[in-house]
Amino acid sequence: MASSTDHPRVITCKAAVAWGAGEALVMEEVQVSPPQPMEIRIKVVCTSLCRSDITAWQSQANATMFPRIFGHEAAGIVESVGQGVSEFEEGDHVLTLFTGECMKCKQCTSGKSNICQVLGLERRGVMHSDQGTRFSVKGRPIYHYCAVSSFSEYTVVHSGCAVKVSSIAPLEKICLLSCGVAAGLGAAWKVADIARGSTVVIFGLGTVGLAVAQGAKLRGASQIIGVDTNPEKSEKARVFGITDFINPNDCDEPIQQVVKRITDGGADYSFECIGDTGMITAALQSCCDGWGLTVTLGVPNVKPEITAHYATFLTGRTLRGSLLGGWKPKSDLPSLVDMYLREEIQIDEFITHNLSFEEINKAFDLMKEGKCLRCVIHMPK
């Protein structure tokens, strides 16, 4: 099925296509174009389902952006390279990147940001280079997701939206580092820079929230409070460092009051990992006066606007956003892979289900029902 790197041709393969918002994915025979200049074509080995895939799939805001192939948290092997690509060759093991790094723009060279001006988050369902698609079914173009679209046996990405990793790292594990686990660790380490002995509260104990907890634990935080309405997450959360679990449904007072009471006036750091802008106010109010820092990581499904009383900030609190944990993806993610290989960070414990590609709709159901952390989807060999 694969073709020569020198003269790559169209590949026909299977992909899970969403034909409409919220509709079950359909396994289709799709055509995948050869990589264009500065692009690579990847044989996807494993891809995991991220909450943001669910959010985008359910959203009616982009109802015209269908048919579409979702998926962005993936690992694979380079099948062919386009003209001008020098950093990759056939057979390289790679992670896909939902936000790229050109290494040349103002943002990339600033040392202050990971928001690339050229290869940043793609929201229109096309490729960065020519605003076109690389997928089609029966001659009909298929929209991309985050310029990755990993729910396909083969995909095409810009060379700046992939990073080469060690060939000895298990792709079925490290795929989680292309988004969720890396996002949580980076929020704790790079964005918040958690100090030893500090107090932390995390709203939402999915993969991202638990990765924040792991990062806080490794930094030596003295108290790590997890907030979630699912009581089944309490025991699992302690594996990642949660010291106190709070279910808001069991509280007779606002959750921020509970947090302030058990932290002697408020936590040093709070993290909003749900994607609920209403919870950002609670997270802010859970922080202490003077230096309390709130980091928001979740992708909101509704009501993207944030409201907060000015006094919240006048008393010294800070609100920061975090995309991929502040990591420069091509520059930084290989070091996380190396940390995993040295057993310095946990990844395996996030994987609650391993499913075949044909079972992808089951993965969607498990995440919608809150019955999984990460479902790793294995492509046919």
Q: What tens digit of pLDDT does each residue of 123-176 get?
A: 999 999 999 999 999 899 999 999 999 999 999 999 999 999 999 999 999 999
The helix (H) or strand (E) run that includes residue 296 is strand 293-296
Please, what is the average pLDDT of the chain? 95
> pTM for this one?
0.95
Categorize the per-residue pLDDT at 301 as very low, low, confident or very high, splitting at 50, 70 and 90. confident
Q: What tens digit of pLDDT does each residue of 6-21 get?
A: 678 999 999 999 999 9
Kindly tell me if the per-residue pLDDT of 374 is higher than 70.
yes
Question: In which residue ranges of the chain is CATH 3.90.180.10 found?
Answer: 39-178+347-378
**42, 76 in Cβ contact below 8 A?**
yes
CATH 3.40.50.720 fits 183-323, yes or no: yes
Q: Which 3 state secondary structure label does DSSP give 351?
A: strand
Question: In which residue ranges of the chain is CATH 3.40.50.720 found?
Answer: 183-323
Closest CA to 183 of 114, 104, 245, 87: 114
pLDDT at res. 4: 43
What CATH class does 39-178+347-378 carry?
alpha beta
